[in-house]
Structure 1
Amino acid sequence: MNFELLIPITLIIGIVYSIKTVVDAYTRRRVIESRGSEELVRSLLEGETTRRRQASLHWGCVMLALALGFAGVELIGADHITPGTIALLLGATGLGNIAYYLLERRHR
Protein backbone atom coordinates (compact mmCIF):
# COMPACT_ATOMS: atom_id res chain seq x y z
CA MET A 1 0.00 0.00 0.00
CA ASN A 2 1.22 3.49 -0.83
CA PHE A 3 1.29 5.29 2.53
CA GLU A 4 2.65 8.50 0.99
CA LEU A 5 -0.79 9.05 -0.52
CA LEU A 6 -2.55 8.50 2.80
CA ILE A 7 -0.93 11.50 4.53
CA PRO A 8 -2.29 14.22 2.17
CA ILE A 9 -5.74 12.65 2.16
CA THR A 10 -5.81 12.60 5.96
CA LEU A 11 -4.60 16.20 6.05
CA ILE A 12 -7.34 17.37 3.68
CA ILE A 13 -10.02 15.54 5.67
CA GLY A 14 -8.73 17.11 8.89
CA ILE A 15 -8.75 20.61 7.39
CA VAL A 16 -12.27 20.22 6.00
CA TYR A 17 -13.58 18.92 9.34
CA SER A 18 -11.90 21.80 11.19
CA ILE A 19 -13.46 24.37 8.87
CA LYS A 20 -16.89 22.77 9.29
CA THR A 21 -16.55 22.84 13.07
CA VAL A 22 -15.52 26.50 13.11
CA VAL A 23 -18.37 27.53 10.78
CA ASP A 24 -20.94 25.64 12.89
CA ALA A 25 -19.65 27.26 16.09
CA TYR A 26 -19.69 30.71 14.45
CA THR A 27 -23.28 30.21 13.29
CA ARG A 28 -24.40 29.16 16.78
CA ARG A 29 -22.61 32.15 18.28
CA ARG A 30 -24.30 34.55 15.85
CA VAL A 31 -27.75 33.14 16.69
CA ILE A 32 -27.10 33.53 20.41
CA GLU A 33 -25.64 37.02 20.02
CA SER A 34 -28.56 38.18 17.88
CA ARG A 35 -30.69 37.93 20.99
CA GLY A 36 -32.79 35.19 19.49
CA SER A 37 -35.64 33.95 21.57
CA GLU A 38 -34.81 31.54 24.35
CA GLU A 39 -36.89 28.87 22.64
CA LEU A 40 -34.88 29.24 19.43
CA VAL A 41 -31.56 28.85 21.26
CA ARG A 42 -32.88 25.90 23.27
CA SER A 43 -34.24 24.13 20.18
CA LEU A 44 -30.95 24.75 18.36
CA LEU A 45 -28.93 23.16 21.16
CA GLU A 46 -31.37 20.27 21.63
CA GLY A 47 -31.43 19.60 17.90
CA GLU A 48 -27.64 19.47 17.84
CA THR A 49 -27.60 17.00 20.72
CA THR A 50 -30.11 14.80 18.92
CA ARG A 51 -28.10 14.90 15.68
CA ARG A 52 -24.95 13.88 17.56
CA ARG A 53 -26.70 10.91 19.17
CA GLN A 54 -28.14 9.82 15.84
CA ALA A 55 -24.75 10.14 14.16
CA SER A 56 -23.16 8.04 16.91
CA LEU A 57 -25.85 5.38 16.55
CA HIS A 58 -25.50 5.42 12.77
CA TRP A 59 -21.72 5.04 12.75
CA GLY A 60 -21.84 2.49 15.55
CA CYS A 61 -24.20 0.29 13.52
CA VAL A 62 -22.13 0.65 10.36
CA MET A 63 -18.81 -0.03 12.08
CA LEU A 64 -20.18 -3.06 13.90
CA ALA A 65 -21.53 -4.48 10.65
CA LEU A 66 -18.22 -3.79 8.90
CA ALA A 67 -16.34 -5.53 11.71
CA LEU A 68 -18.57 -8.55 11.19
CA GLY A 69 -17.94 -8.30 7.44
CA PHE A 70 -14.17 -8.27 7.96
CA ALA A 71 -14.54 -11.24 10.32
CA GLY A 72 -16.43 -13.01 7.53
CA VAL A 73 -13.62 -12.24 5.08
CA GLU A 74 -11.14 -13.69 7.56
CA LEU A 75 -13.29 -16.79 8.11
CA ILE A 76 -13.48 -17.59 4.42
CA GLY A 77 -9.72 -17.22 4.21
CA ALA A 78 -9.58 -14.57 1.50
CA ASP A 79 -5.97 -13.52 0.94
CA HIS A 80 -6.58 -11.17 -2.00
CA ILE A 81 -9.11 -8.52 -2.86
CA THR A 82 -11.73 -10.14 -5.03
CA PRO A 83 -15.22 -9.08 -6.09
CA GLY A 84 -16.59 -11.51 -3.49
CA THR A 85 -14.74 -9.90 -0.60
CA ILE A 86 -15.74 -6.43 -1.76
CA ALA A 87 -19.35 -7.59 -2.06
CA LEU A 88 -19.22 -9.00 1.47
CA LEU A 89 -17.95 -5.70 2.88
CA LEU A 90 -20.44 -3.61 0.88
CA GLY A 91 -23.24 -5.90 2.03
CA ALA A 92 -22.12 -5.52 5.64
CA THR A 93 -22.14 -1.72 5.22
CA GLY A 94 -25.64 -1.88 3.78
CA LEU A 95 -26.83 -4.07 6.63
CA GLY A 96 -25.36 -1.60 9.12
CA ASN A 97 -27.29 1.24 7.50
CA ILE A 98 -30.49 -0.81 7.52
CA ALA A 99 -29.96 -1.66 11.20
CA TYR A 100 -29.55 2.04 11.94
CA TYR A 101 -32.73 2.86 10.05
CA LEU A 102 -34.71 0.24 11.97
CA LEU A 103 -33.32 1.40 15.33
CA GLU A 104 -34.00 5.05 14.48
CA ARG A 105 -37.54 4.24 13.41
CA ARG A 106 -38.19 2.32 16.61
CA HIS A 107 -37.08 5.27 18.78
CA ARG A 108 -39.55 7.68 17.15
Structure 2
Amino acid sequence: MNFGDLIPIVLFICIAYAIKVVVDARVRGRMVGAGGSEELVNSIMRDEEQRRRHSSLRWGIVLLSVGLGFGLIQWFGWQEVTPGMIAVLAGATGLGNLVFFAVARRLG
Protein backbone atom coordinates (compact mmCIF):
# COMPACT_ATOMS: atom_id res chain seq x y z
CA MET A 1 0.00 0.00 0.00
CA ASN A 2 1.27 3.44 -0.86
CA PHE A 3 1.29 5.52 2.32
CA GLY A 4 1.25 8.71 0.25
CA ASP A 5 -2.39 7.95 -0.59
CA LEU A 6 -3.21 7.57 3.09
CA ILE A 7 -2.18 11.14 4.02
CA PRO A 8 -5.13 12.95 2.30
CA ILE A 9 -7.60 10.45 3.75
CA VAL A 10 -6.31 10.95 7.30
CA LEU A 11 -6.24 14.72 6.78
CA PHE A 12 -9.88 14.70 5.66
CA ILE A 13 -10.90 12.62 8.69
CA CYS A 14 -9.06 14.98 11.05
CA ILE A 15 -10.67 18.06 9.52
CA ALA A 16 -14.14 16.49 9.70
CA TYR A 17 -13.61 15.54 13.35
CA ALA A 18 -12.36 19.05 14.21
CA ILE A 19 -15.47 20.56 12.61
CA LYS A 20 -17.68 18.19 14.63
CA VAL A 21 -15.94 19.16 17.88
CA VAL A 22 -16.31 22.89 17.16
CA VAL A 23 -20.00 22.56 16.23
CA ASP A 24 -20.73 20.51 19.36
CA ALA A 25 -18.99 23.10 21.55
CA ARG A 26 -20.93 25.97 19.95
CA VAL A 27 -24.24 24.14 20.42
CA ARG A 28 -23.43 23.56 24.08
CA GLY A 29 -22.42 27.20 24.52
CA ARG A 30 -25.62 28.48 22.92
CA MET A 31 -27.70 26.10 24.98
CA VAL A 32 -26.15 27.40 28.20
CA GLY A 33 -26.32 31.01 26.98
CA ALA A 34 -29.99 30.72 25.99
CA GLY A 35 -30.96 30.66 29.65
CA GLY A 36 -32.33 27.11 29.72
CA SER A 37 -33.03 25.64 33.10
CA GLU A 38 -30.08 24.14 34.92
CA GLU A 39 -31.88 20.83 35.22
CA LEU A 40 -32.38 20.64 31.44
CA VAL A 41 -28.72 21.44 30.72
CA ASN A 42 -27.53 18.86 33.29
CA SER A 43 -29.89 16.26 31.83
CA ILE A 44 -28.59 16.84 28.31
CA MET A 45 -24.97 16.71 29.46
CA ARG A 46 -25.58 13.48 31.40
CA ASP A 47 -27.24 11.92 28.36
CA GLU A 48 -24.34 12.97 26.13
CA GLU A 49 -21.82 11.46 28.55
CA GLN A 50 -23.76 8.20 28.64
CA ARG A 51 -23.87 8.10 24.83
CA ARG A 52 -20.09 8.57 24.73
CA ARG A 53 -19.52 5.74 27.17
CA HIS A 54 -21.89 3.46 25.28
CA SER A 55 -20.16 4.36 22.02
CA SER A 56 -16.79 3.41 23.50
CA LEU A 57 -18.25 0.19 24.84
CA ARG A 58 -19.81 -0.64 21.47
CA TRP A 59 -16.60 -0.06 19.54
CA GLY A 60 -14.59 -2.02 22.07
CA ILE A 61 -16.90 -5.04 21.87
CA VAL A 62 -17.23 -4.91 18.07
CA LEU A 63 -13.49 -4.53 17.48
CA LEU A 64 -12.79 -7.35 19.92
CA SER A 65 -15.19 -9.64 18.06
CA VAL A 66 -13.72 -8.63 14.67
CA GLY A 67 -10.27 -9.39 16.08
CA LEU A 68 -11.53 -12.81 17.11
CA GLY A 69 -12.90 -13.27 13.59
CA PHE A 70 -9.49 -12.46 12.12
CA GLY A 71 -7.97 -14.86 14.63
CA LEU A 72 -10.28 -17.62 13.40
CA ILE A 73 -9.32 -16.87 9.81
CA GLN A 74 -5.64 -17.12 10.72
CA TRP A 75 -6.23 -20.30 12.73
CA PHE A 76 -7.98 -22.00 9.81
CA GLY A 77 -5.14 -20.91 7.52
CA TRP A 78 -7.31 -19.16 4.94
CA GLN A 79 -5.16 -17.11 2.57
CA GLU A 80 -7.57 -15.99 -0.15
CA VAL A 81 -10.61 -13.78 0.22
CA THR A 82 -13.61 -16.08 -0.06
CA PRO A 83 -17.29 -15.71 0.79
CA GLY A 84 -16.66 -17.87 3.87
CA MET A 85 -13.99 -15.48 5.11
CA ILE A 86 -16.27 -12.48 4.61
CA ALA A 87 -19.08 -14.36 6.37
CA VAL A 88 -16.82 -14.96 9.38
CA LEU A 89 -16.00 -11.24 9.61
CA ALA A 90 -19.63 -10.16 9.07
CA GLY A 91 -20.78 -12.70 11.65
CA ALA A 92 -18.18 -11.51 14.15
CA THR A 93 -19.29 -7.90 13.63
CA GLY A 94 -22.95 -8.84 14.06
CA LEU A 95 -22.17 -10.89 17.14
CA GLY A 96 -20.27 -7.95 18.62
CA ASN A 97 -23.25 -5.65 18.06
CA LEU A 98 -25.61 -8.18 19.66
CA VAL A 99 -23.33 -8.54 22.68
CA PHE A 100 -23.25 -4.75 23.00
CA PHE A 101 -27.05 -4.64 22.85
CA ALA A 102 -27.30 -7.19 25.65
CA VAL A 103 -24.71 -5.38 27.79
CA ALA A 104 -26.35 -1.99 27.20
CA ARG A 105 -29.78 -3.33 28.19
CA ARG A 106 -28.29 -4.79 31.37
CA LEU A 107 -26.51 -1.49 32.22
CA GLY A 108 -29.40 0.80 31.43
Task: State the TM-score, normalized to the length of structure 2.
Answer: 0.91
Aligned match of 2:39: 39
| Per-residue deviation, 1:8 | 1.8
| Count of aligned pairs | 108
| Per-residue deviation, 1:57 | 1.0
5+ long unaligned stretches in structure 1: none
Structure 1 stretches (4+) deviating beyond 3 angstroms? none
Cα RMSD (Å): 1.3
Q: What's the CA shift string for 1:58-107, capped at 9, x where partnerless?
A: 11110110110111011011222222222111111111001111111122
Q: Which 10-residue stretch deviates more, 16-25 or 78-87?
A: 78-87
Percentage identity across paired residues of the two chains: 51
Q: In the alignment, is residue 101 of structure 1 matched against residue 101 of structure 2? A: yes
Quick one: distance in 2 between partners of 1:87 and 1:4?
A: 31
Aligned match of 2:11: 11
Aligned match of 1:66: 66
Paired amino acid for 2:23: V
Aligned match of 2:57: 57
| Per-residue deviation, 1:10 | 1.7
Aligned match of 1:29: 29
